[in-house]
Every structure is written in structure tokens, then in C-alpha cells.
């Protein structure tokens, strides 16, 4: 299993956002996570790479294992966790530096010695090719990344994770700021990455979950209601709540 | 009847609208008038005062003749030393408060203290400076004591300006960095500071322009009425523009009328130039903004 949580609960102060979540996400697959607003999807994602903890009022209980290793353990290096578990956000957040520097940002953070220019060029090209962005930006790698279109920025946000060789990519509604055409382009890209990376993607778009994932998790009020093959969930949902949500009978 | 015709209500609203506009405009105008009068008076009355000698010579004949050279140099010393003291401390504190500190009772207390510090009258700062720097640390009446007093006084401005420019950097940039495994400092150094430096510099320049005009805090701590030589180290006393103006306007008999006006105009010119630089700088950098 790529990600496995056992009895995971989380509190923001007194407010409990996750209840006893047991989930296993399969390696190399795309797993989508759906559920109404506020049900704890983002919270779950942010717990896996332990980014939630920077709020002092957050308390977690239970275990999270990534490729069999306990990421909650005392001796775990958070920097390594975040390096190996990449995250893509709802709003593309390309950094206000050049396209090239965006791609190299993570690498530079984590390398002690200076990389040769040729090696850097190579990494930049590889990552940008992987996200189908190379041809559009290869002549303007020095331009500031925030001048790109949202679609391009979001692809860049994925590209900049790749040089760090992450094993898991967490995506929190990566297409919700994009128009339909850009959405489909980014979706295609995510599908491209299938197999090489384990991808957990939160989406409000039922069609997207259905099209673009192997397995699907349905959450409701901090609890996992159902987790099955995507096809099954959409054809024969096992719970009334799931059926209601899929058919749009929830807010 | 067409549905787009003016009604009585429209007309009465429009009348109110123009009335309000005129009223607000007039209030604004009355605010500018004093500034204009001050400037015009200064320029008119200081007629004939300015020459190269005015800026390059020492005062002569119990300050009724000669120039303002040592006061200009002294102000430069005071401001430079004050900046050297307040900017590193202020920026460091602002970075801590904006990027590291959790929202605890202690942080809130510190923030409150900073706001209150900004409200302390400058004469109180002056007395504090005498007690702390002149007497306790035994710097004597010196540039060091005077500048440190001004530094303490302007620290809140630096802290607040810096913190605001740091906070203007969108949070998602920080999150992107943290999620790639960047430490707080790596994030600050590579992303936050480069994108807030313009605001910080603007704050610093504004601080300078404030410092230039202050009289009270330097009066008892390091500025002298008259010195026949320039300071050579921070342990010397010095003349200063603001105090010089005060002295020749109120303490010295038989000063020719144009002289105080000339000093005042020079002082205002320095402040205005600094402010324009700061505003120009901000406009320039805002145009280059990357998000
Ligand atoms: N930093 C926080 N502090 C306090 N409460 C929070 C915080 N973040 C989220 N919550 C609360 O936790 C619950 C779950 O939020 P979360 O963002 O995980 O939901 P979500 O499923 O991602 O919703 P959406 O679909 O709107 O993104 C919500 O009720 C939210 O108000
Ligand atoms: Mg969310």
C-alpha cells in the first residue's frame, strides 16, 4: 500500500474534522476523493504530508503509513516527508520566480552541492516534458512563472515536484480554478502520470472522478463512507449517502 | 412615456451627490492650504539666503552669519547611526512576528507594546535616552546616545512597515515552499524577502524622513547648540539641522530674518526629497510586481 491510515482522527482545537479514518491507497493508481464541502478532504491530504501541524491547535491521533513507514513517528524528518509526498493545490501557486527556477526550486532546497548547468537544464527539460509544457515554454524559461496562464501554472506546479522524485502526489482540487478545456488538459496529464506515481486527488467534479480514477473514496462529515473501485461506486453505490451525493442531492 | 426618463428622485439624488462632492472637495482643499502657505512663506522669506557658502560653511559671528555645513553633516551622522541600529533590529523583529511567532498571548502583548511605543511622545523618548544611553550605558551626550534614542523611537515604524510588506506576500507562495520541504528560513530568504524588500525599503526611507526633523530626542542626548568642528566618531557631540533651526529662531539675538527660513526650507526639502524618492520607488516596484 502506498498510503495506509489507521484510526486517524484530527481536531482543530475542539472541532473534530476527521473521525477514525481507515484508508488504504494503492500504489501506482489514481485514487479520487469526493464528498461535500467541509467533510475533511483537504484536512486528510494535509495530514499525510504533515503540513497541518504548523497550527499549534491541531491535534492528531492514529497512524499514517506511507510505503509501510510510519510518518507520524518521532524520528521522522518532516523535510523528507514533504519532499517525497508532493502536493498540488486548488489555486495554482507557481512561485514568483522564473519558470526554470520554479522547476529547480525543490532540487536546490535538497541538494548540498551546486548542480552543473547541463544537469539543471536536463532536469528542467525532463520535468517540463513530463507535464506536456516543454514546447510552450522552452523559449521563455527565464520569464516569471506567474505570467503563465492558470493551466500552464498548474502544470508547472506539478512539474516542479517531479525532480524531487516524489512517490506520492496529493492533489487538492487541482482543476477547480481552470476552465473546461484546461481542466481536460490537466486531467490528461494526471492520467499520463498514472503508474509512475501514486496519486490521490480530491475533486468536486463527479465526471472527473469517474473518468480519471481507479478507485474512489467518498467522505462525509469527517468519516469515510465508502471506498471501492470507481466504476463500482458510480454504478452500484453501496450506501444511500453515496448514491445521494453522486446524484447531486447534497450541497 | 419612456422607461428611461429622469424621475424627481433621480434629480434630488443628483443634487445631493454634487453637494457632497463639493463639500468634500472643499475640506480637502483647506487641508492643502496651510502646506501651501508654509512653503510659499518659506520660499519668499528665505530669498537671498541660499548660496554655495550657505551649505558649505560653518556658522560665524554667534551663528548670525555663515552656513549650516556642520548641522547638515551632523544630521547625516545621526540618521545614519540611527538607521544602522533600528533597521537590523526592526526587520529581524518583524520577520519573527510575521513569519515565526504563533498567535499566543505573548505575541499579542508584543504587538500591543509596539503600537504603544509608537504613541509615546518624543520628549519621553528623549528622557529615556538620557537615562538609558547617556547615563546608564555611559555613552555621554554623543551621536551614539542621540541616534540610539531616535532608533528606539522609530523602531515601531520600521517593524510595522516591514511586517506589513511581509504580510503582503501571498500565503500560497509560502505553502508551496513548505510543501516542497523548505524550512521557514529558506522560504523567507528565497521567496518572501525578495518580494517584500521594496515595501521594507519604502518603510525605511519614510523612517529616515521622520528622523531628520526630530528635535526633542536629540536635544539632551547628543546634539550641541554650536560646535566649531565636525564630529569624528559616534562618541562626539554634533550639531543638527532641527536643533540649529530651533536655536537660531529662538535663542540667538540679531539673526538676519532670512536665515531661519533658509534652514527650515532646507529641512523641509530634505524630507520632501526623501518622501518623493520613497513614493517613486514604491510606484516603480509596484509596476514590476510579479503577481
Ligand atoms: N485551519 C483550520 N482551522 C480550523 N478549522 C478548520 C481548518 N481547516 C479546516 N477546518 C474545518 O475542518 C473541516 C474540514 O475542512 P476541509 O478543508 O478539510 O474540508 P474539505 O472537504 O476540503 O472542504 P472543501 O471541499 O470545501 O475544500 C471544515 O469544517 C473546516 O471548517
Ligand atoms: Mg478542500
Q: Where are the domains of chain B?
A: 70-287
- For A173, half-sphere exposure in the C-beta direction (CA atoms, 13 angstrom radius) is 16
The A15-25 sheet, strands edge to edge: A15-25, A3-12, A58-66, A69-70
pLDDT of residue B64: 82
Q: What spatial distance separates the first Cα and last Cα of chain A, rounded to whole Å? A: 32
Quote the pLDDT of residue B291: 65
pLDDT for A131-166, tens place per residue? 999 999 999 999 999 999 999 999 999 999 999 999
Buried b (16+ CB within 10 A) or exposed e, A184-201: bbbbebbeebeeebbbbb
Better pLDDT: B197 or A95: A95
DSSP per-residue string spanning A171-219: EESTTTTS-HHHHHHHHHHHHHTBTTBEEEEE-S-HHHHHHH-SEEEEE
Please return the burial class of A62, using the count of CB atoms within 10 Å of its CB with bins 0-12, 13-18 and 19+.
Answer: middle
- Asked if residue A3 lies in contact with residue A65, where contact means CB atoms within 8 angstroms, the answer is yes
Q: Where are the alpha helices (DSSP H) in chain A?
A: 41-48, 78-84, 99-110, 117-130, 134-137, 150-159, 180-192, 206-212, 230-235, 240-246
For the beta carbon of residue B206, count every other beta carbon within 10 angstroms.
20
Predicted local distance difference test score (pLDDT) of residue A42 = 95
pLDDT over 90 percentage in chain B:
59
Half-sphere exposure of B50 (CA within 13 A, CB side): 13
- Give the pLDDT confidence score for residue B281 in this predicted structure: 81
Task: Show the ligand 1 pocket: residues with CB < 6 angstroms.
Answer: A 12, 15, 17, 35, 37-43, 55
Is B257 a residue whose pLDDT tops 60? yes
Fold of domain B70-287 = MetI-like fold (1.10.3720)
Which B residues, 161 through 190, put their C-beta within 8 Å of a C-beta on chain A?
A: 170, 172-173, 175-183, 186, 190
Whether B175 and A89 have beta carbons less than 8 Å apart is answered as: yes
Question: Chain A contact for B287, CB < 8 A?
Answer: no
Interface test with B, best of A95, A98, A99, A106 (most B CBs within 10 A): A95
* Interface contact flag, B290 A105, Cβ < 8 Å: no
How far apart are alpha carbons A164 and B259 in whole angstroms?
69
- In the CATH hierarchy, which fold is given to the domain comprising A3-95+167-246? Rossmann fold (3.40.50)
Flag whether pLDDT at B187 surpasses 60.
Answer: yes
Q: Is A45 helix (H, G, I), strand (E, B) or coil?
A: helix
Q: How far apart are CA B225 and CA B239, in angstroms?
A: 6
pLDDT for the residue numbered A251: 54
- Which residue do the cell numbers 523618548 mark? B125
Global confidence as pTM? 0.84
Residue in the structure block whose three cell numbers are 508654509: B38
Query: Quick check: A106 and A161 in contact, CB under 8 A?
Result: yes
Bridge partners, A198 (sequence order) = A168
A207 Cα distance to chain centroid: 18
CB contacts of A97 in chain B (<8 Å) are: 190-191
Give the distance (Å) from ligand 1 centre to CA of residue B135.
Answer: 56
Using 50 as the pLDDT threshold, list the residues of chain A that sit under it.
none
Please indicate whether residue A25 or residue B64 has the higher confidence score (pLDDT): A25
C-alpha to C-alpha distance for A244 and A231, rounded to whole angstroms: 16
Task: State the Cα–Cα distance between residues A120 and A110, nearest whole angstrom.
Answer: 14
Rg of chain B on CA atoms, in Å: 25
- Classify A161 as helix, strand or coil: coil
Atom of ligand 1 nearest to the CA of A173: 27
Four-CA torsion A165, A167, A171, A174, nearest 10 degrees: 40
List the single best residue of B168, B170, B180 to mutate versus A (max A Cβ within 10 A). Answer: B180
pLDDT value at B128 more than 90: yes
Residue of B nearest to A164 (CA): B180
pLDDT digits (tens, 9 = 90+) for B211-248: 888 889 999 998 888 888 899 998 999 999 999 999 99
Determine which helix (DSSP H) or strand (DSSP E) holds A24, and give its type and residue range.
strand A15-25
Q: How far is CA A215 from CA A234, B84, B132, in A?
A: 11, 60, 69
Query: Is A175 buried (19+), middle (13-18) or exposed (0-12) by CB count in 10 A?
Result: buried
pLDDT of the residue at B57: 87
- Give the Å distance between the CA of A13 and the centre of ligand 1: 12
Distance CA B183, CA A78 (A): 10
Instruction: Evaluate the CA torsion angle A25, A29, A34, A39 in order and state its sign.
Output: positive
The CA dihedral of A8, A13, A17, A23, to the nearest 10 degrees, is: -10
| pLDDT at site B129 | 93
Query: Which DSSP symbol is given to B223?
Result: B
Amino acid at each position: 500500500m502506498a498510503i495506509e491510515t489507521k484510526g486517524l482522527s484530527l481536531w482543530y482545537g475542539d472541532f473534530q474534522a476527521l473521525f477514525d479514518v481507515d484508508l488504504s491507497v494503492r500504489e501506482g493508481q489514481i485514487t479520487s476523493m469526493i464528498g461535500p464541502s467541509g467533510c475533511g478532504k483537504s484536512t486528510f491530504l494535509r495530514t499525510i504530508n504533515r503540513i497541518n501541524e504548523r497550527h499549534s491547535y491541531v491535534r492528531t491521533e492514529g497512524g499514517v503509513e506511507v510505503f509501510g513507514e510510519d510518518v507520524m513517528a518521532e524520528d521522522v524528518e518532516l523535510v523528507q516527508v514533504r519532499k517525497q509526498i508532493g502536493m498540488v493545490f486548488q489555486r495554482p501557486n507557481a512561485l514568483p520566480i522564473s519558470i526554470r527556477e520554479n522547476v529547480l526550486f525543490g532540487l536546490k532546497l535538497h541538494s548540498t552541492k551546486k548542480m552543473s548547468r547541463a544537469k539543471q537544464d536536463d532536469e528542467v527539460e525532463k520535468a517540463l516534458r513530463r507535464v506536456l509544457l516543454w514546447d510552450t515554454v522552452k523559449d521563455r524559461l527565464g520569464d516569471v512563472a506567474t505570467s503563465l496562464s492558470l493551466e500552464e501554472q498548474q502544470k508547472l506546479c506539478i512539474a516542479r515536484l517531479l525532480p524531487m522524485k516524489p512517490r506520492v502526489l496529493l492533489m487538492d482540487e487541482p482543476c477547480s480554478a481552470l476552465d473546461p478545456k484546461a481542466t481536460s488538459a490537466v486531467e490528461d496529464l494526471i492520467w499520463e502520470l498514472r503508474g509512475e506515481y501514486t496519486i490521490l486527488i480530491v475533486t468536486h467534479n463527479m465526471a472527473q472522478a469517474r473518468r480519471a480514477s481507479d478507485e474512489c473514496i467518498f467522505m462525509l462529515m469527517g468519516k469515510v463512507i465508502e471506498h471501492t473501485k470507481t466504476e463500482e461506486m458510480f454504478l452500484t453505490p453501496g450506501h444511500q449517502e453515496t448514491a445521494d451525493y453522486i446524484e447531486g442531492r447534497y450541497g | 412615456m419612456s422607461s428611461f426618463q429622469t424621475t424627481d428622485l433621480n434629480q434630488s439624488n443628483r443634487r445631493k451627490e454634487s453637494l457632497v462632492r463639493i463639500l468634500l472637495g472643499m475640506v480637502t482643499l483647506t487641508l492643502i492650504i496651510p502646506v501651501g502657505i508654509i512653503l510659499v512663506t518659506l520660499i519668499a522669506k528665505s530669498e537671498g539666503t541660499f548660496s554655495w557658502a550657505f551649505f558649505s560653511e560653518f556658522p560665524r559671528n554667534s551663528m548670525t552669519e555663515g552656513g549650516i555645513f556642520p548641522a547638515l553633516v551632523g544630521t547625516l551622522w545621526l540618521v545614519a547611526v540611527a538607521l544602522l541600529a533600528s533597521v537590523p533590529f526592526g526587520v529581524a523583529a518583524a520577520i519573527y512576528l510575521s513569519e515565526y511567532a504563533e498567535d499566543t498571548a505573548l505575541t499579542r502583548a508584543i504587538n500591543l507594546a509596539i503600537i504603544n511605543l509608537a504613541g509615546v511622545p518624543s520628549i519621553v523618548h528623549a528622557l529615556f535616552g538620557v537615562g538609558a544611553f547617556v547615563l546608564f550605558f555611559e555613552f555621554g551626550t554623543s551621536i551614539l546616545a542621540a541616534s540610539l534614542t531616535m532608533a528606539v523611537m522609530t523602531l515601531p515604524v520600521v517593524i510595522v512597515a516591514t511586517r506589513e510588506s511581509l504580510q503582503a506576500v501571498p500565503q500560497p507562495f509560502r505553502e508551496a515552499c513548505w510543501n516542497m520541504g523548505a524550512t521557514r528560513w529558506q522560504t523567507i530568504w528565497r521567496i518572501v524577502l525578495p518580494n517584500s524588500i521594496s515595501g521594507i525599503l519604502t518603510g525605511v526611507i519614510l523612517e529616515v524622513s521622520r528622523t531628520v526633523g526630530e528635535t526633542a530626542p536629540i536635544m539632551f542626548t547628543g546634539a550641541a547648540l554650536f560646535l566649531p568642528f565636525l564630529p569624528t566618531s559616534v562618541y562626539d557631540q554634533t550639531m543638527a539641522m532641527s536643533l540649529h533651526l530651533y536655536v537660531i529662531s529662538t535663542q540667538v539675538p540679531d539673526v538676519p530674518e532670512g536665515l531661519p527660513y533658509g534652514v527650515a526650507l532646507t529641512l523641509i526639502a530634505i524630507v520632501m526629497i526623501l518622501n518623493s524618492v520613497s513614493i517613486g520607488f514604491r510606484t516603480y516596484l509596484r509596476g514590476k510586481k510579479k503577481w
